[in-house]
Structure 1
Amino acid sequence: MKLHDLIGYDRNGTIKEIETGLNKGKLGTRDIVFSALGFNAPAWVAASSMSILYSISGHQAPLAILIAFFFPMLVLAICLVSLTRYAPSAGGVFTFCSRFIHPSCGVVLGWTYALACMAVTPMCALIATQYIQALFPALQGELQAKIIGTLLILTFLMVSSRGVAVTARVAATFLVFEIVVVAGLGMLGIINPQVSDLSVATMYSVTANNWSAVAPGVLFGVWMLANFDSAINYIEEAKVPVRTVQRSLLIVLTSAFIIYSIAAIGWQFAVPVDKLASIVESGNGGAISAIAETYLPSSMSWIALFVVITSACAGLQISSNSAARTLYRMSEEGHLPSALCAVNKFKAPRLTLALVTTVGIAIVWWKPISNIIWYYDVITITLVLSYVFALIAFLVLTWEKNAPKVALMLSAPAVLAMLVLGYIGYLAGASPVSPDDIYTAWYLGIFALVSGALIALLSKLCKLRPIIN
């Protein structure tokens, strides 16, 4: 059996379209790749996370990213490729769990994934706001931050309401600029190094002494590479649905890996790693600013701030679309009120977009940027739950479709990936950034599951009511 047959890759594009009320045939592979990579937000993630990764793994930061890419993220991507082939829909984890585990499990996990996306939306709005205020000091202030964040969310509601093609073009515009800056600064470091006595080989070497620093970095690298799966949310609007999204899943994950690897390598050649590790990101561009100061004239210092603004805006836009399309599909399947599957004249899910926008604005006013750890907790635990149950769905699919020996071979890496992701979920609650944050991620995960279970129960009761009457 060939590899593409084994993992369910639709090599010949046999599935030409799937049933949907959304805008069919609008997106190609490039459009979905740019949209999904926008959700990964390379510039913002690099600004906020690279210094932390350096502080964890030091010179071995590129090695931590490499290991995280191959395991568990590439394993997860291949599992999602298979699931997309046999359960194609914009619902993603909702559909996978509904078809291969249980419909009620699908509702719970679909809601959990939607919560993850709905948390990313206001978080990105607040991050963009923080950098806007840094770029324009006259706008400083908590009230101003809430107003700016609200305006950003409303602005991208209007963009998303114009249809998926407009959404993809805006995401592509933002993404090209941030990749040029993030990866470009990395290449400048490699081409014109400012730090001597450093080699790429040392960044990928590991010994018994430094392995203890690499392992935690791998877990952090998983966080940096996550969100590539948002490509699935656009499957109903793709020109060749399954093949386009399968390609996009692998391209988005690989692209994020390459971008972060170039940055992790090149930035060390520009600024000593000890200095990079000590940088505290607080709306000033973080490590990106330090590298920009090394290679760019002072007149261009604004680029480090501007690129994070565009990155956060792209993440805001794509996360709100991902949540809206998941809720749309749950409504189409009868698990949420039927009104939520309504679309406007541009075939955008207008009511779910409005719902996600309303929730996002409410959270902006409830949880300001000073509560950024709360957002991390929500996103980490809900994504971990979504990924783990997607892998469980893959295991069920694998044993249904393959002989026992083949199923066992495919199951082994998936089970190990589940254990790694489960450990990340455990650490999210057991190892908080501050003592006040202990167990918060676990509480939020329980809330997501319980609220999802209530939605599943209400869905059943609503379906049974006509029969009882």
Structure 2
Amino acid sequence: MTAPSTLTAHPTKLKRSLGLWAIVGLGLGYMTPMTVFDTFGYVSEESGGVVPLAYLFALVVMLFTAISYGRMTRIYPSAGSAYTYASETIHPNVGFLVGWTALLDYLLLPLVNALLVRQYFEAFFPEVPGWIWVLGYVAVITLLNLWSISSTSRVNATLLVFQVVLIAVFVILAWGALQQGAGNGTAFSIEPLYHANVQIATVISAATIVCFSFIGFDAITMYTEEAKDAHTVPKAIVLALVLGGVIFFTAAWFAQSLFPVTEGFTEGTALPEIAYSVGGMIFQIFFVSAAIAAAAASSLASHASVSRMIYVMGRNGSGPIARRLSYVHPRFRTPAVAVVLVGIVSLGAAVADLDFVFSMINFGALIAFTVVNLAVILHFAVRRREVKSAWQVVRNVVLPTIGVVLTVVLWLNVSSQAMTYGLIWLSIGFIALLVMTRLFRRRLHMSLEEDEVIAEGDEGPDALLEEDRERLAAGE
């Protein structure tokens, strides 16, 4: 008989140590408030000079989806997020594909932050090879995530406060400059939100870009198994989204009021130019420092969340690779192998191209958002038949349907490059699914229990024993 240790998942569970505001902070850190300045020039040109309107449109879309995430995490309190919800309400095969597609975005965000930090340091120290900064930076982020989620949360909170304070200082300086006649000459002009040349098509196109900034509120669901009280997670989702939306909108409003025309800004990031124009060299130094802090905070939060998703997907698989991915360190109570794997992927920042990586980010996230809204309809309206009153119809059909429509609109407006490479990644996932299910002859199983044995077959533990014997006989 096979030893029991080879048939059971590692008994150590994730540690429940995160309170409401710690989770909100991780979500905000993931969202990176300073991003509004990095992308301001490009989004202003794309939207026709109404960056705040693009953020407002994206926020409305995300609010419908955030409500759906909050409802689903109450039903399925697992760290697997959209992967879990799709598996449970639609089919495990669909859940795998959703998780696979979203994994692309979540894996790339830590890499993007490492790449941005590399560029910041290369600007200050051009003689030092960029790979050295990437190696050192990724090592620190990985070790902090490996150590404990509590330490990750505390460091993230410090970095988050630093960037929010600098954004507040920017607003104050911009207010003073507007009062002296710069830009629109006033902070109360409606020009940043609407003017004669505004076109809905360009606003939607710009919203597909800025919705990248909101990716993070959904990642909060991946901390469900580490929340002191899992019931606080839905509230944390909405709080993080609303607070992030307020910060984005306010910063964009003052930036657009002060710079109604963005000609002259360096292609890529407008942040240094904006900082220098508003507060001179000293403020520019502090503002760029805040941008580095923002990237680090986002790295910590995104690294933590994607490692939890890998952990859950590994926990719901079988075989030696899945067992390793679902390993939880007995002392640190963190998904150690998944954390290290994300760190290895992030090292790609030493050679990656930022434009290419950015083109991949939103594809999977918008698919996940669409499926989570569909999951609400299927679970509450179809499975539970909770459509007996007008309020139930609104809550279980109308609101998630609006969420589906709005996210599909954004998804259909992503760049052709993002669509092409996203579909290639999805195709690879489909091939992997065919292999794992042996051309759909074997069913994937889901588990919400942190230490439950997961078998791919339908026959139960006896069949698992037999499968193990077959693998041993085959020399696997």
Q: TM-score, normalised by structure 1?
A: 0.83
CA deviation profile, 1:206-263 (whole Å, cap 9, x unmatched): 6685444433333333233222111111111111112x21111111111111111111
After the TM superposition, which residues 24-423 of structure 1 pair with which residues of structure 2 at under 5 Å, given as runs? 24=16, 26-43=17-34, 45-70=35-60, 72-139=61-128, 144-193=129-178, 194-198=182-186, 199-205=188-194, 210-242=199-231, 244-270=232-258, 272-275=259-262, 278-282=264-268, 286-334=269-317, 337-344=322-329, 345-361=331-347, 363-365=348-350, 368-369=351-352, 371-399=353-381, 400-401=383-384, 402-403=386-387, 406=391, 408-409=393-394, 410-423=396-409
Q: CA deviation at 1:418?
A: 2.4
Equivalent position amino acid for 1:21 in 2: K
Q: CA deviation at 1:59?
A: 4.1
Equivalent position amino acid for 1:418 in 2: V
1:424 maps onto 2:410 in alignment: yes
The 8 Å contact of residues 342 and 349 in structure 1, kept in 2 or not, is answered as yes
**CA distance, structure 1, for counterparts of residue 143 and residue 411 of structure 2:** 35
Identity of aligned residues (%): 22
Equivalent position amino acid for 2:272 in 1: S
The 8 Å contact of residues 51 and 256 in structure 2, kept in 1 or not, is answered as no
Residue 261 of structure 2: SS of its match in structure 1? Answer: helix
Greater mean alpha carbon deviation, residues 376-385 or residues 257-266: 376-385
More helix by share: 1
The 8 Å contact of residues 125 and 152 in structure 1, kept in 2 or not, is answered as yes
Q: Which residue of 2 aligns with 1:4?
A: none
Residue 88 of structure 1: SS of its match in structure 2? Answer: coil
Q: Which residue of 2 aligns with 1:443?
A: 424
**CA distance, structure 2, for counterparts of residue 305 and residue 97 of structure 1:** 40
Residue 138 of structure 1: SS of its match in structure 2? Answer: coil
Q: CA deviation at 1:454?
A: 4.2
**Residues 453 and 178 (structure 1), Cα distance of their counterparts in 2 relative to 1, 3 Å cut:** farther
The 8 Å contact of residues 377 and 444 in structure 1, kept in 2 or not, is answered as no
**CA distance, structure 1, for counterparts of residue 58 and residue 403 of structure 2:** 10
Equivalent position amino acid for 2:38 in 1: S
Equivalent position amino acid for 2:191 in 1: T
Greater mean alpha carbon deviation, residues 192-201 or residues 203-212: 203-212
Q: Which residue of 1 aligns with 2:4?
A: none
Equivalent position amino acid for 1:223 in 2: F
**Residues 225 and 136 (structure 1), Cα distance of their counterparts in 2 relative to 1, 3 Å cut:** same
**CA distance, structure 1, for counterparts of residue 113 and residue 201 of structure 2:** 32
Residue 78 of structure 2: SS of its match in structure 1? Answer: coil
Q: CA deviation at 1:86?
A: 0.5
**CA distance, structure 1, for counterparts of residue 284 and residue 257 of structure 2:** 20
**Residues 364 and 457 (structure 1), Cα distance of their counterparts in 2 relative to 1, 3 Å cut:** farther
Give ranges in structure 1 of 5+ residues lacking alignment.
Answer: 1-18
CA deviation profile, 1:371-402 (whole Å, cap 9, x unmatched): 22221232221212222222221221121331
Greater mean alpha carbon deviation, residues 349-358 or residues 297-306: 297-306
Q: CA deviation at 1:185?
A: 0.8
Greater mean alpha carbon deviation, residues 446-455 or residues 120-129: 446-455
The 8 Å contact of residues 30 and 215 in structure 2, kept in 1 or not, is answered as no
The 8 Å contact of residues 49 and 261 in structure 2, kept in 1 or not, is answered as no
**Residues 214 and 183 (structure 1), Cα distance of their counterparts in 2 relative to 1, 3 Å cut:** farther
**CA distance, structure 2, for counterparts of residue 423 and residue 178 of structure 1:** 32
**CA distance, structure 2, for counterparts of residue 280 and residue 291 of structure 1:** 10
The 8 Å contact of residues 292 and 304 in structure 1, kept in 2 or not, is answered as yes
Give ranges in structure 2 of 5+ residues lacking alignment.
Answer: 1-10, 445-454, 458-462, 471-476
The 8 Å contact of residues 50 and 256 in structure 2, kept in 1 or not, is answered as no
Across the aligned residues of Structure 1 and Structure 2, the Cα RMSD in angstroms comes to 2.7
**Residues 438 and 320 (structure 1), Cα distance of their counterparts in 2 relative to 1, 3 Å cut:** closer
Residue 190 of structure 2: SS of its match in structure 1? Answer: helix
Q: CA deviation at 1:305?
A: 2.3
Residue 89 of structure 1: SS of its match in structure 2? Answer: coil
CA deviation profile, 1:433-455 (whole Å, cap 9, x unmatched): xxxx8833432343344445545
**CA distance, structure 2, for counterparts of residue 278 and residue 451 of structure 1:** 47
Q: CA deviation at 1:120?
A: 1.2
**CA distance, structure 2, for counterparts of residue 332 and residue 52 of structure 1:** 41
Number of residue pairs the alignment of both structures matches: 429
Residue 379 of structure 2: SS of its match in structure 1? Answer: helix
Q: TM-score, normalised by structure 2?
A: 0.82
Q: Which residue of 1 aligns with 2:449?
A: none
Max radius of gyration: which structure?
2
The 8 Å contact of residues 121 and 320 in structure 1, kept in 2 or not, is answered as yes
- Give structure 1 regions of 4+ aligned residues with deviation exceeding 6 angstroms: none
**Residues 202 and 374 (structure 1), Cα distance of their counterparts in 2 relative to 1, 3 Å cut:** closer
